Structure 1
């Protein structure tokens, strides 16, 4: 195949931190890194018009795979996605992929990298061998793991942000990019600290990036800063406790004393805006006694209850939900398995009327399951009669106690649901992914909840409803900016709603509410940070 082992000549560029000449990142370029050409069409189908895609394959694949790739490339051209008709083949084997991928990424200089699941799910369990049975070829997981490593090295080498998405193999392309993610983007990544300053946190290949207001309500921001910490897997959960401290939660792959790799949940705390992040601590894994099972752990969801106890929830190896709690004095209890309906790898943790609770999208049906407690210390109870039918990749917490937002599986409309009630439609059937919101925004004297979501082709759509009254309806409007990640919203130290996006050039852009406007209106978009 054409493209095998090719490298284009360099064209100059800036100096990296080591002093070596490097290329500048190309914001419109996406690298798709897969095992064979047959893995690429599903990822190409999720690309938006206007991007340039470089496809890297570890092996050339079969004639049928190459034909499927060519059809996908032709379809991309028809909707404005630029992609080579033949992928670049690296001729790499399991365990020997990192360097070829890194060399290719240096050439492409992508802002975004897409690959498959580094820890493919099992299809059965071999009781005799006491090992899970993985149906996917070993090369798929190896390519994904080494791609994450290569992207991290590229970002540390150049200083340019690189953002990585890992997609489940075999996910329905109609779900869009958000529906098939193994490690989700945070829905609420813009926060207000105790001193009133806003801070944005986003996961990158080399770690968490942070942007911080230099003064309350000002357009001068510091960042993006790469926070020190372990090599995290893509994805991030951002929550705040009752004192206003920000907690970052993710997954880390590390090697044990025997050299075997283990995936664990990790957690760090931001006590003061703009100050160094606290140390990362391991919160363990509900399947920690078996590394083969532990690697499949789902991405963590988290929430603080009224006693300021942190509750973690993850999907475990058996497709159930496991939880553990950290008390205000820092002590953890043991992992507890919440038995019941098999859960998909998508959870939303929220504060209910009686403490923490968690919703999960069901694995085998278009439904949602809720676990809750009658009192903060009571046993967990499962509620399967929720009337919620979430579209994959759309569950998020709403500000109303015990309420969730999601897109309805039948129509893709944004909905808000509460236990025992039918979901209320908020409209907005275009777009994909979760919806974020901020309550307590003053709009002409009314306390309102401002909502933001992905619209068509990644645009930022904004709407609002009266606090606690989503049934009054939402009028959505295009905010005039696109985002590479689900847009975020928060209330700044001066009481104004602020919406934030990660622009197609990889920089943070914000727009602030104009409080004296006749309705909900925002000022011009501003690029913040360096």
Structure 2
């Protein structure tokens, strides 16, 4: 059975979406590493159904904090989570915690690790020293730094991917705790020869899975070189379809500070080594305390092959750099406008240029920047929608975006010039932003495909005529569990592939069965791990 976004239903195989069977997934252990029990509350609130939560605290904390954590764990159990015993208290300060925390991770061997933000945004400035002040205790950042170090060491020791989320203490509109380093949306890519590649960030750097032959055996997960990478990733494709990777790298300074910089690489041949990571620095790199606050990058290619990279800077406005097709970079430049949150999405517009969307810092409103004929940037504050934090993503159509409505939670589509957004699914039908792919042909017509994670943790597949989301989207459960956001990719031949992640470094992968009518998958295969 399929469901259209306007609420009507269609039975049988007449709708454009179908699916095959899938092997079952299993629950996964999440280690929550915090200074004291009360600091774990906001982190536990984000736990999804199926998680087994092990809280690791450096110190015992007070009675109120322990009671608040007990309530948070009870609420998580009502959502389908399970507590892995009581909080583990190491009894150490952050400066001395690395050996004890490494030993605890050996004992737990978690699938995921959740901790706090190592580089929080400032809440003020000390006028005398010019040093930023923060709304969180130093123990938060110190614990996050040692948790990242322990997680990297554990993954290096075991050889198994350890997925990490760093969560901000401050909360956004309609959110519990914001993720500092977002996971990729479009993390599956198809090469020139039809072979698929999947990328994902981990504690020790980016890992990759790839096909040895189209539709054949997979290799991975293999750890790609990239010391100091933080646990987030952006994957964008250039005009030739080649995947480019961007992220943040954090390195210690000799004076006791840290440098956080934007980095970039690319894969030019499936299965071959990536190009060396190159640093773009940051818009506030001259002062490390300001530079460490740089937001996670957004990026897109224009029709000429230039790569545009955007970040939220220390002042909560936007800065950008551009790499021309011949490889030269411009300096960081500033875009004026309202202050923004970390939710930035860059898209390639129909006219071939690049446009930027960003959620406002203090509200759920969305802003847009576009270039005029003279190349100057202008800000548009009149967008007729508001988005939930962390839900903005590029649509399959040029210049358009996907997001979850701030009020209803519905996935919506909007493109410049439209009087309002088009809802694509039912209210509260899932979480996060869907991955979008275009170029799928059905019965001689072009379709755009959406793949997302439903409320029950399974992969959902949808389709609508290319450029016409207003006609409604056909949705159907794709029959596979998904730990995190699934992704879709379309090869040069037009064949669709869908992938989800399972615990243990494995993927589930399915391709469209082109011998059948509609958008039917040929059955899921577990690969890697």
When the two structures are superposed, what TM-score results if normalisation uses the length of structure 2? 0.91
For residues 27 and 192 of structure 1, what CA distance do their matches in structure 2 show? 29
Q: Which residue is equivalent to 1:82? A: 82
Inter-partner Cα distance in structure 2 for 1:428 and 1:167 = 28
**1:369/1:173 CA distance change after superposition, 3 Å:** closer
8 Å contact kept, 1:27–1:110: no
How many angstroms does 1:96 deviate by? 2.3
Change (3 A) 1:364 1:237: same
1:498 to 2:497 alignment = yes
1:267 maps onto 2:268 in alignment? no
Question: 1:318, CA displacement in angstroms?
Answer: 0.6
Q: Compared with structure 1, are the counterparts of its residues 494 and 244 closer, same or farther at alpha carbon in structure 2 (3 Å cutoff)? A: closer
User: Secondary structure of 1:33's partner?
Assistant: strand
How far off its partner does 1:405 sit? 0.6
| Correspondence list, 1:2-17, <5 A | none
| Aligned 8 A contact 1:354 1:374 in 2 | no
1:146 aligns with 146
Structure 1 residues 461, 153: closer, same or farther in 2, change over 3 A? same
Provide the residue aligned with 2:413 in structure 1.
416
Equivalence for 2:464: 465
Q: How does 1:291-370 map to 2 (within 5 A)?
A: 291-352=288-349, 353-370=351-368
Alignment of 1:408-447 (within 5 A): 408-421=405-418, 422-429=420-427, 430-447=429-446
Distance 1:499 1:155, change over 3 A: same
Q: Give CA-to-partner distance per residue, 1:136-157, whole Å, 9 cap, x none.
A: 0101111111111111110100
Deviation of the 1:449 alpha carbon: 0.6
Question: In 1, Cα distance between the equivalents of 2:520 and 2:42?
Answer: 38
Q: In structure 1, what is the equivalent of residue 486 of structure 2?
A: 487
Whether 1:522 aligns to 2:521 is yes
- Structure 1: how far apart are the matches of 2:141 and 2:495? 45
Distance 1:293 1:285 in 2: 10
Which range moved further: 163-172 or 347-356? 163-172
Does the aligned pair in 2 maintain the 1:498–1:511 contact within 8 Å?
A: yes
Secondary structure of the 1:231 match is: coil
Tell me whether 347-356 or 305-314 shows the greater mean CA deviation. Answer: 347-356
| Stretch of structure 1 that moved more, 378-387 or 426-435 | 426-435
What's the offset of the Cα at 1:27? 6.2
Residues 482, 504 of structure 1: 8 Å contact kept? no
| TM, length-normalised to structure 1 | 0.91
- Shift in Å at residue 258 of structure 1? 4.3
The whole-number CA distance in structure 2 between the counterparts of 1:224 and 1:343 is: 35
Q: Is the 8 A contact 1:186 1:238 kept in 2?
A: yes
Distance 2:239 2:490 in 1: 16
Give yes or no for the alignment of 1:372 onto 2:370: yes
Contact persistence 1:219–1:526 (CA under 8 A): no
Give 1:84 deviation, angstroms: 4.6
CA distance in 2: counterparts of 1:30 and 1:213, whole angstroms: 29
The whole-number CA distance in structure 2 between the counterparts of 1:440 and 1:428 is 25
2:27–2:50 contact (8 Å) kept in structure 1: no
Which of 186, 189, 205 pairs up with 2:187?
Answer: 189
2:108 match? 108
Matched with 1:18 is none
**Structure 1 unaligned regions, length at least 5:** 1-25
Q: CA 1:78–1:113 in 2, change beyond 3 Å: closer, same or farther?
A: same
Shift of 1:469: 0.7
Matching residue of 1:212: 210
Instruction: Output the CA distance in 1 between the equivalents of 2:165 and 2:457.
Output: 15
Query: Residue deviations 1:208-235, cap 9 Å, x none?
Result: 111111112x141121111112220010
Establish whether residue 225 from structure 1 lines up as the match of residue 222 from structure 2.
Answer: yes
Cα distance in structure 1, aligned partners of 2:516 and 2:84: 48
Tell which has more relative contact order, 1 or 2 (C-alpha 8 A, sep 6+).
Answer: 2
| 1:510 correspondence with 2:509 | yes
3-state DSSP class of the match of 2:42? helix
* 1:311/1:324 contact within 8 Å kept: yes
Contact 2:397 2:438 (8 Å CA) reproduced: no
Q: Distance in 2 between matches of 1:49 and 1:435?
A: 19
CA distance in 2, matches of 1:219, 1:411: 42
TM-fit CA distance, 1:61: 1.2
TM superposition shift of 1:399: 2.5
The number of residues matched between the two structures is: 501
The separation in 1 between residues aligned to 2:207 and 2:502, in whole angstroms, is 14
Q: In the alignment, is the contact (CA less than 8 A) between 2:173 and 2:363 conserved in 1?
A: no
Displacement of 1:85 in angstroms is: 5.8
Contact 1:232 1:252 in 2 (8 A): yes
